[in-house]
Structure 1
Amino acid sequence: MSGSQPHAVVRRADPADAAALARLLDAFNREFGEPSPGVAVLARRLSTMLAGPAAVALVVGDPAVGVALLSFRATVWWDGPTALLEELYVVPQRRNGGLGGALLEAAEAAARDRGAELLEINVDGEDADAQRFYERHGYVSGNPGQSEPQFYYSRELGRQPSGPEARH
């Protein structure tokens, strides 16, 4: 495992790990000033996700000090699913020791095991550290062989109004 520590044991998480993973993901968002629904909500969601086939979580450390969360979706462009690395986080005091690289390698292996031919990662534009990390591990910002940049767009859909206000 290039760039990873020999003692960096990464294992697949299961629904019983949901609370520990929720604490890590909540800390991740708070560290970067992003909103979080809180540990209890994240734990409930993770427990449900990890019990089904659409997500895989990987954890490093005992107690957990890092997490990688993958989701999978069908696509017409590949025979297998496309994997999305939704989150990769290592607590600040354990960074720069190869744990992130070990989690990324394990995420790639988990994606391959599920038949994925593509692993996507969304990185905030101002997060230069994350950009360097993924580029160092062979990821490119855009489609290989094309010079145009790629952009990520999103829109929160929320609940649509019902009743009289929905008709206006």
Structure 2
Amino acid sequence: MQSAEPVRKYAEVAIPQQEHPVRQATTSDAAAVAELLDAFNREFDAPSPGTDVLTARLRLLIGGDHLVALLTGEPAVGVAVLTFRPDVWHEGPAAVLDELYVRPGLRGRRFGHALLEEACRLARERGADILAIDVDGEDTDTRRFYEAHGFANTEPGAAEPMFYYYRDLV
């Protein structure tokens, strides 16, 4: 018996389009987004200013034009955060997927896939030519996830991978 849901081909497998609906967060979702981002950092022993500080920041940022938070699940079990900025190399904005997180017990159930697909769709809709993602080199599972979704760490025609550099300014 065939499903009545529309399907999209991905990696030669038919996938229901709305397997895990994704919605754009509003300022009233700031606390839910903050809780997921805080959990993400704590899971990987990364510093976090805490949910109160994140909630206050997100209320300002979500209401603006340069940051979009996406949520999936009810209650929310996954989050993606995208930022957009002007870019001299492209007509549209530069789009960066700053964060993508799904609660540990729910990974492998395509919540991350749904968030990433919506992030790509939204970036295209806003006129971005590429979606950039920074991934730690030793995080092989995450690298494998993005590569399975068509992302690469080499530019077309280049043999060497790209690197991300940063410097603490505080």
Same fold per TM (> 0.5)? yes
Identify the residue that residue 81 of structure 1 maps to in structure 2. Answer: 93
* 2:81 partner letter: L
Shift of 1:144: 2.2
Identify the residue that residue 124 of structure 1 maps to in structure 2. Answer: 136
Once superposed, which parts of structure 1, at least 4 consecutive aligned residues long, lie more than 2 Å away? 1-7
Q: Counterparts in 2 of 1:6-155, with a 5 A limit?
A: 6-155=18-167
Percent identity over paired residues: 54
* 2:124 partner letter: R
SS in 1 for 2:68: strand
* TM-score relative to the length of structure 2: 0.89
* 1:49 partner letter: L
Shift of 1:157: 1.4
Alignment deviations for residues 93-116 of structure 1 (CA, whole Å, 9 cap, x no partner): 110011100000000011111111
SS in 2 for 1:80: coil
Of the structure 1 ranges 6-15 and 87-96, higher mean CA displacement relative to structure 2 is found in: 6-15
Distance between the aligned counterparts of 1:114 and 1:60, measured in 2? 21
Shift of 1:125: 1.1
Alignment size in residue pairs: 158
SS in 2 for 1:20: helix
Alignment deviations for residues 113-148 of structure 1 (CA, whole Å, 9 cap, x no partner): 111111000001111110000000000012122112
* 1:154 partner letter: Y
5+ long unaligned stretches in structure 2? 1-7
Higher relative contact order (CA 8 A, sep 6+): 1
Larger radius of gyration: 1
Distance between the aligned counterparts of 2:159 and 2:69, measured in 1? 33
* TM-score relative to the length of structure 1: 0.90
5+ long unaligned stretches in structure 1? 159-168
SS in 1 for 2:49: coil
* 1:29 partner letter: N
Alignment deviations for residues 53-110 of structure 1 (CA, whole Å, 9 cap, x no partner): 0011100011100000000111111110010000000001110011100000000011
SS in 1 for 2:90: coil
